Structures are given as C-alpha cells and as structure tokens.
Amino acid sequence: MTIEIIKSKLPTIPKVSGVYKFLDVNREVLYVGKAKNLFKRISSYTNKNALSSRIFRMITLAHDIEYVI
C-alpha cells in the first residue's frame, strides 16, 4: 500500500473512536491500533517525513485497512 492508497481511503473513514487494522496481501494482520479519532490517526500515516522506518515498511506491505467503531 502506498501513501496515495491510504489517502484514497480517507473519505470513507469516520472521525470517531475505534480500532483499525493494516492487512497484507494475504489478509494477515500487520498491525492493530486504536484511536479516539480514526480519521486523524490513519491520516497520520500519510506524512512520510514523520514515519519511522519500521512504520514506513509496514505501510509498504499493507494492502488494505479495516476498522471497527
């Protein structure tokens, strides 16, 4: 998943609290996180300069994002 793909999914992500998962191509969970505002938290992954190398690698392996409110 590239940062552009995350940006394309942002319009569908609500601004409420919940849990989100980054999934790889095989639908295996790469990362699970929680947020008071899902939109703000997931959009923070689009700031390439603020990402650690570990998080940037996870973003490149991810193919989908799921969330639960």
pLDDT (tens digit per residue) in 24-48: 999 999 999 999 999 999 999 998 8
Residue 68, Cα to own-chain centre: how many angstroms? Answer: 13
What's the pTM?
A: 0.88
pLDDT > 80? residue 51: yes
Could you tell me how many helices (H) and strands (E) the chain has, helices first? 3, 3
Q: What phi, psi does 9 have (nearest 5°)?
A: -85, -15
Q: What percent of the chain has pLDDT over 90?
A: 75
How confident is residue 1, by pLDDT bands cut at 50, 70 and 90? Answer: low
Over residues 52-59, mean pLDDT? 92
